[in-house]
Amino acid sequence: MVSNSIRRGIAIWLSAILICLSFAASVHSVEHIDHGAQGECTLCFHKHQLNKLLPTTPFSLQASTQTFETVSFLLCEHKASHVSFFHSRAPPAA
């Protein structure tokens, strides 16, 4: 088993690396923003191809409105007396 302090240390280092890579990627994309796919950078070329593949149409989801049907019940009245079929008693006193 790996101790909690080692797991916490690994999680902190991975978070720090993720933050550094996110800043580096944003700076890199701003650096080559005018070049498009004609630049020499392979990362920008593949990113440009990926952006062309992704659909650019706005996403719309047709939501149907919910309808309710009113239902009326006819209840018949019955008057009945209570009948108990289970006769229980307390245990005998010792």
| Structure-token pair, residue 30 | 């701003």
Q: Along the 94 residues of the chain, how does pLDDT read in single tens digits? A: 678 899 999 999 999 988 887 887 777 766 666 665 555 676 767 777 777 777 777 777 788 888 888 888 887 887 878 777 777 777 777 7
Q: Is residue 30 classed as helix, strand or coil in its secondary structure?
A: helix
Q: Is residue 2 classed as helix, strand or coil in its secondary structure?
A: coil
pLDDT of residue 29: 67
State the residue for tokens 């630049």: 39
pLDDT of residue 15: 92
The model's pTM is: 0.36
Is 17 in contact with 25 (CB distance < 8 Å)? no
Closest CA to 37 of 28, 27, 47, 29: 47
pLDDT of residue 34: 65
